[in-house]
Each structure stands twice: as structure tokens, then as C-alpha cells.
Chains A and B, each alone.
Chain A
Amino acid sequence: MIVVKDLQFSYENSLEIEIPDIQLKLGEELLILGKSGSGKTTLLSILGGLLAPKKGEVIIDGTSLYHLKGNELDKYRGRNIGIVFQKPHLLKPLTVAENVALPYFFSKNLSADKVQYYLGQLGIQNKQHARITTLSEGEAQRVSIARALINGPKVILADEPTASLDDENAGLVVELLKSQAKKLGAALIIVTHDHRIKDRIANRITLNSGGL
């Protein structure tokens, strides 16, 4: 269960942004639509424990994110929240498999090694030793999804995951996110302004530009 209530946020010298309350059970999906500048990424950052709100709470499975301090929050995020960004942002000095395994290391997760499993699930097993620079956009985005899934998160957050992909890859990426979230029993929240994918998820809210 992910619960968002009474969220308020404001950047310095600008209007307060009010964020609607959200309640989502584990295993459910939510699409947050909105134009550029409507605060979508800000909302996602708050949900991901990356940006403290001015007011309000984000509760994931009974844990209030912003009551965790520093290192605890980093570790909690590493283990329970998988984030997929608009661009894959893989670490270039590392291979595909090393990139996917990185969350294990950072969060000191001692669970079984699922790198091969997720590389297989996302159809990039043959690229595991490849350099990041040799991957196509679609492949790179799939690697970043594998990286988000590797710790078996309770919540998967995706920020414009399809924006830089072609139609075919965009559809594929959304279906992969949906099916993997189902398998993990995780809540899936996708933030996007990409209308190609809005019909693929029924549960959706729309943010208005100029405030939430």
C-alpha cells in the first residue's frame, strides 16, 4: 500500500504546489498525466524519497519516507523503490550486468542474485558483457528497468520512460513495466505526457499546468 496525503511543495520564490492525495495498493497501476512544467517530475521525486516535501507524508507499506533520516532513507529507497528515468542514465564505465547489479551493492542487499533472471526477463541477456555505449536507446532503457527491478521493490516509479523511444519500443517498455510490477506485486506509477501510452493503463490522474 502506498499512501500520499496532504503533500505540499514549493520551490524557492515560487507558488506552492499542492499535490492530490493518492492511495494505491501493491500490485495496482497509476498513470499520472500532465504537460511539461506541471510538476510531474517534482511529484515523482517526492514519491521516490529524493526530495522532501514542505508538508505532508509519503507512506510506503507502513513506513513514512520522510521520517527516515539520511542514510536510512537512502537504504530504504535502494531496497523498496525502483526508479526508471526518462533517459536510462547507465554508468558508462560499467558493463550491462554490472549496472544492473549496482543496487545490490549500494543497498547491501544480501538476497539471491537475480541479475541473470532480469536480464532474461527483459530480453537483454546476450548484452550482459556489452559496453553501455554500444547499446541502442531501447536496449539501454530495458537495462535501466532491470536495474530498477533487481532489489524486488514495493513501488516502481517511472518518469517519462517512453519519451525518447519510438512507438514500438514505447509500447514494449510499458508492457514490460506492467508485467514485471505484477510479478513482483509492486505498485507501478508512471508519470508521462506521452499520449501513446495513456490507453495502456486505466487508472490515471491528470495534473493541471501551473499547479497541482
Chain B
Amino acid sequence: MSIFKLSWKYLIDKPLNTGLNVLLLALGLSIITVLLLVEEQFESKMNRDATGIDMVIGAKGSPLQLVLSSVYHVDFPTGNIPLKEAQKVSRNRLIKNAIPMALGDNYEGYRIVGSNHDYLSLYQAELSAGSAWDKPFEVVLGSKVAKAKGFQVGDTFIGAHGIAAASHHHDQQPFQVVGILAPANNVLDQLIVTSVESVWYAHDDEIGPEKLDQEVNKIGFPEADQDRELTTVLIAYRNPMAAIQLPRMINSRTSLQAASPTFEITRLFELLGIGVTVIKGLALLIIFIAGLGIFIALYNSLKERKYDLAVMRAIGAGKSQLFLLILLEGLILTFLGAIGGLMLGHFFLFFIVITNEQGLVSGLNAVTFIGKEWWIIVYALIVGIVASIIPAWNAYKGDIAGQLSK
């Protein structure tokens, strides 16, 4: 027997009471856990995906939508832009690198991105099998796409128009998998990347066989055989001056729109921040109620146990042993709550991730343990001490003889 074991015996003597308090605390803490995990991973993922992209050029519309659709591949594109105009703007001396993109097709919900090899270099992508594309209709799959669809190098599939599954199918020319990317925990994981030409030709009514055999442009803009369109261009600045001059110039003097991923994402986080604050407040309220529940449970059980405690004193227990007994009950309860909360939180996140395979949250990892989670255990134990200190003190100064003579 030890004080710890004795505390434990008293707790499991009231399984419903104990279970309810642990569950309530675990629920509150699980919300905090999810928020911590999402906050930490989401921001770093958002920043990772936007690395090297200073500006996005696309059709006029919502700048946030433009950034979300062309950098993170979540929202709908704002529309198309003429290739010639995009090329003209990109020739500006303030621009170090411009990556053209043609979006708008998908395969069973996974987006097909027409671009060039620079797009792969942007993320320092490595191939786990095969090689990058040379010819039209050759594609490289993100690791998650390949895994989810079971594709190997050499397999073919038919793309569909639109960015959601079950749209109109392009049934003329199948795409052929020539390479599969290594998992990189960035946006490439869930994309199907190919040349801009592939996307163009998929929309043409007739494609001459000579076009299919022609190598595509692997860097820079594709060569157009007619008036072609792009969806967006990812821009890297040559120097900080560009950040001041370029967006204003493009937005005011052209029919195009320029948007900064950093700026738009900061704005997005500010908007989400209000929601996060509300959820955090709710979680803290639940934790407070859980703490109150533990306090009331210990306080009430102490009333029933006054005689038990007096008997313990009579058979040799010191005041400090009783103090520890009650304190430990609070600490055990909240420690279990913390462990339960962490497990529930990770489980919730896991559930969110597997039900949103293609969304923004799909890149989150539910089985990672971040340093801030230690704080959850610390917070919980503080709640335990606060909730049990008054009952423990009452046990400490309890009057034995008076209690025993009742």
C-alpha cells in the first residue's frame, strides 16, 4: 500500500464520478490539443508551400482566392489570362523567375497542374520513381495521389474538366504516369503535375500526332501554336524594390491581378484568429468547469469521508499524509484527464485529416507530438492542485477526536 494506491482506490470506488470528471477535463484539453497541433503545423505548412513565391499573377478577382487556388490548390481559380500578356509582364527586369501554370482539370478530385520543371524545383521535389515529363500527356504524381490511387509508372488515366471529381471527362487522350514524387509533406503531395501543353491539348478537339511526339518546354513559358491561355504565374522577385513597384504596376496598368501570398495568408489568419479565440475560450470554459467538478467531487467526498480520515489519523496517519492523499486524488484525476485529452485531440485531428484527404488540412500529421503538448499536462496538473488544495487542507486540519465522538 502507498498513498498513491490509497488515492487510486478511493477514486475507483466511485467510477462514475471519477469517469465523468476525467471525461470533462479530457474534452476541454482535447480541443486545446487540436488547436495547438493545427496552429503549429498549419502555419508551417502554409509557409512551406509559399516559400520562393513572392507574388502570384492571375485573372482579376479576389486576391485571397487567387493565392489559395494557385499556391495551395484549394479554392477555385479566378479565371484565365492570355499567355501573351502574362509573358509580357513576366519579362520585367524586377522578376527573377516566373513559373506559368494552367489549372482547372482533375483526376477524381486530385488537381492536375500544368506547369514546367521549375515548379518541381521550387519545392526541391525528388522523384521516388521514374522521371519528370518530356512530352505532352506525361505526368508526375504526388506521393499521396500515387498511394491513394495505386498508380505505378506506366499507368494511364483520363483527366476530367473542373477541379472537383465527377466533372466532364476528357476522353480523347489519357495521361501517362512517368514519375512519382517522394513524400515531401507539402502541396505537391496531392497534385498531379504535368506540362502546360498537356492541359492545353486535353481541351483541344483535335490533336495532331506530331504534337504528341514533340518535346515540351521544360523551363520558361510554353510555345503556343495559337492564342493560348494560362491560369496563373508564380513570381519570384529579383530584389525588394519589386515588392513595392510590381504589384501596383500590374494591378493598375494591366488586365491582370497580382497578389502576395504572405500578405493574403496573414489576412486569412487574422480572419480565422477570431474563430480560434472563440474556440479557445470555449475550451478554457470547459476546463474551468471540469476543475470545478473535481473540486466539488473532492469536497463532497471529503464530507462523507471525514470519519474515514479521522480513523486513518487514529491508526497512525500523519496530517501531511492525509493532505497528500487528497491532493493526489486531484492530481491523478487531472493527469488522467490530460492523457485522455491528448489522446482524444490526436484522434480528433486524425479523424479530420482522413475525412479531408484533398483539402488544406490533409497535410497535417496527427501522430506527431509537439513540445507545447507538455504544457497541456502542466496546465492539467495545475488545475488538479487548485481544485484539491482546499479539500486537502480541510483533511489536514480535520479534528479527529471531535469526528470520532460523533
Contacts and interface: CB of A to CB of B under 8 A. Distances in A.
A204 interface: no
Interface in A73-104: 74-75, 77-79, 83, 85, 89, 91-94, 98, 101-104
Most B Cβ at <10 Å: residue of A50, A94, A107: A50
B315 interface: yes
Contact of B1 (A51, A92, A105): A105
Nearest to A87: B307
Interface string B289-320: 00000000000000000011001111111111
A70 B10 CA distance: 25
A106 B315 contact: yes
Interface in B305-350: 307-308, 311-321
B405 interface: yes
Contact of A77 (B6, B314, B320): B314
B402 to A, nearest CB: 8
Contacts of B13: 92-93
A8 interface: no
B9 A93 contact: yes
Contacts, number: 76
B382 interface: no
Interface residues of B, number: 24
Contacts of B307: 89
A142 interface: no
A92 B12 CA distance: 11
A70 B400 CA distance: 13
A147 B9 CA distance: 18
Given A41-B405, A50-B401, A94-B9, A89 B319 contact: no
B interface majority secondary structure: helix
B214 interface: no
A48 interface: yes
A45 interface: yes
B2 A45 contact: no
Most A Cβ at <10 Å: residue of B314, B400, B401: B314
Given A42-B405, A45-B405, A91-B308, A75 B318 contact: yes
Interface string A143-170: 0000110010000000000000000000
A interface majority secondary structure: helix
A62 B400 CA distance: 24
Nearest to B10: A93
A45 B311 CA distance: 12
Given A71-B320, A89-B307, A93-B9, A50 B315 contact: no
Contacts of A89: 307-308, 311
Contacts of A79: 316
Nearest to B12: A93
Interface residues of A, number: 31
A51 B404 CA distance: 11
A134 to B, nearest CB: 14
A76 B391 CA distance: 26
A151 B316 CA distance: 10
Contact of A74 (B2, B313, B405): B313
B398 to A, nearest CB: 11
Contacts of A102: 1, 312, 315
A74 B309 CA distance: 13
A45 B315 contact: no
B314 A147 contact: no
Contacts of A75: 316, 318
Nearest to A94: B9
Nearest to A157: B314
A9 to B, nearest CB: 10
26 contacts: A45-B400, A45-B404, A48-B314, A51-B400, A51-B401, A70-B318, A70-B319, A71-B320, A74-B316, A74-B319, A75-B318, A77-B315, A78-B316, A85-B314, A94-B6, A94-B9, A98-B9, A102-B1, A103-B315, A105-B1, A105-B2, A106-B312, A106-B318, A107-B316, A148-B315, A151-B316
Given A71-B320, A93-B12, A107-B316, 12 more contacts: A41-B404, A42-B401, A42-B405, A48-B314, A70-B319, A77-B314, A77-B315, A77-B316, A92-B13, A103-B315, A106-B317, A106-B318
Identify the 5 closest CB pairs spanning chains A and B, nearest first.
A78-B316, A51-B401, A93-B13, A107-B316, A45-B401
